[in-house]
Copies of this chain bind each other. A is one copy, B any other.
Amino acid sequence: MRVASLTDFLLQRIDRNCGKPMNRQLYQVVREAILDRVMPVGLQLPSSRDLARELDIARNTVTYAYEQLMAEGYLETRKGAGTFIADTVPDQIPDAADGGTLRPRKTGSIGLSERGAELVRHAGAYRFQWGAFMPGVPDVSAFPNKVWSRLQNKHWRRSRPEMLTYGHGGGYLPLREAIAEYLRVARSVNCTAEQVIVTSGIHQSIDLASRLLADVGDRAWVEDPCYWGTRNVLTSLNLKPVPIAVDAEGISPGNADLRHPPRFIYVSPSHQYPLGQVMSLSRRRMLLEYAEKHNVWIVEDDYDSEFRYASRPLASLQGMDTHDRVLYLGSFSKTLFPGLRVGFIVVPPTLADAFATGLSDLYRCGQLFVQAVLADFMGEGHFASHIRRMRVLYAERQQLLREAIRRNFGDALPISGDDAGLHMALVLPDGCDDAALCREAQEHGIIARPLSGYYMKPERAKRGLILGYACVPSELIGPSFDRLAALIRPRLPRL
């Protein structure tokens, strides 16, 4: 390539009207030509003065581009001789042994891992996170923003550097103390602050527990149906979730299951997700005795039991455990707001140090400011009073939803899980295609999730709709359900 043809080359590739600075364009065109080996090593470039004249641009522009290219190693100057393309061509790359170039996995062409492709295929998170009848979302519009803002400002005003750097250990101690105190009183959880590990929510809690307690290929019992997130986190860590049937008393392992103890058992005893039943006392005792006998861990997901309408809240499974086999998971997503991303694990004392270390090392924590604000929010009593207010509100909304169901269907469609929580399951007859129904509802602007989608074993799957009522304004519950009912009705067998 001679200087004349170099100039032509550049002129063809530079666009004076594209709005991009000329020095940037020049830099990029030359750089690309070098990387593509269009401009060979050792080629001498014209002086900045000559090139500026040839291209009819300011000399500074050329100088700037040359300097950047020089700084990055594309060009070099030889004393008295001028500017040259530097030798940055890498050595010949050897072929792979055993022809071992990595081929895309059998997961499609974009090159995901097998676990990655599996995760994307079974993705459960929903694009819509607000509206009738989004399950699992509280009424965030009732959150006391002003109080929160005030506490937030207080902490930012007296900002200490320690609060802005990485966290270390199990979280901000005053928050851990506030959580321990709350759990002792409200959930009969047996714990000290040191056992409380502050996470970014249930997902991180499952993730941490799975990595620290289970190895690749280990089995973990999950309820069937269960929360999609649990399954996805376990699978993406290469654990094997074993689906165990649930009955009216909760998880119900058969003798064949019991003969093969898993590494841990993941259960939602206070309000089975998504069906909503409470685990019976004898089932609880069975699980605890089994866990002790076989060195199995129990992971108790207590995601929304603060909102219990029909009776006093039951004590946690953790509180009944006298052999330190239970890890208790909770979250502020349902009691305050999901976007807060604060949850916690209460671990047995023997695991407290390992979990605190694992947390800092795996996730490099922080958000101490948020944790401090939350600690104050609890300490000043706003947490307890917010829960009280919301319990009244959600009870009313649940009542409205139950009335709307009765008005439309009488007793023909059973309701499951309305003792507690933010959602209920409306059970549909076996033949009903609940997934298609939910897609249709979505086209009408109504969110409902199909019960069958929560099952791992298709032959076990009941049909139904998971309906959240907590985040739906009271006056919209009846009308929204009426619209949904109009879509349900044609899909029912003649009653």
Contact = CB atoms under 8 A, between A and B. Distances in A.
B168 A102 contact: no
A261 B95 CA distance: 9
Nearest to A90: B286
Contact of A295 (B101, B236, B350, B366): B101
Nearest to A110: B350
Contacts of A32: 322
Contact of A213 (B113, B143, B215, B314): B113
Contacts of A340: 164, 366-367
Contact of A125 (B86, B166, B295): B166
Given A100-B260, A281-B72, A367-B339, A165 B140 contact: yes
- Counting chain B CB atoms within 10 Å of each CB, which of A74, A88, A129, A297 scores highest? A129
A101 B259 contact: no
B215 A102 contact: no
A258 B88 CA distance: 19
A74 B282 CA distance: 9
A130 interface: yes
A141 B161 contact: yes
A337 interface: yes
B116 A204 contact: no
A18 interface: no
Interface stretch (A147-155, A395-403, A484-492): A147-155
Contact of A339 (B130, B166, B286): B166
Nearest to A358: B119
Contacts of A281: 72-74, 86, 88
Given A89-B285, A281-B88, A232 B361 contact: yes
Contact of A137 (B165, B200, B236, B369): B165
Interface in A103-145: 103-105, 110-116, 119-120, 123-127, 129-130, 137, 140-141, 143, 145
23 contacts: A68-B312, A72-B281, A72-B315, A73-B281, A97-B259, A100-B259, A100-B260, A102-B294, A110-B351, A111-B297, A116-B213, A119-B211, A119-B212, A127-B169, A130-B165, A149-B153, A164-B337, A229-B364, A232-B362, A339-B368, A339-B369, A340-B367, A341-B365
Given A95-B259, A200-B363, 17 more contacts: A35-B322, A73-B282, A90-B289, A91-B286, A96-B258, A111-B350, A112-B212, A119-B361, A125-B357, A143-B164, A145-B156, A164-B339, A164-B340, A166-B338, A204-B363, A338-B366, A339-B368
Interface of A: 31-32, 35-36, 67-68, 71-74, 86-91, 93-97, 100-105, 110-116, 119-120, 123-127, 129-130, 137, 140-141, 143, 145, 148-149, 152-153, 156-157, 159, 161-169, 200-204, 207, 211-216, 218, 229, 232-233, 236-238, 255, 258-261, 263, 280-283, 285-286, 289-290, 293-297, 311-312, 314-315, 320, 322, 333, 337-341, 350-351, 354, 357-358, 360-369, 471
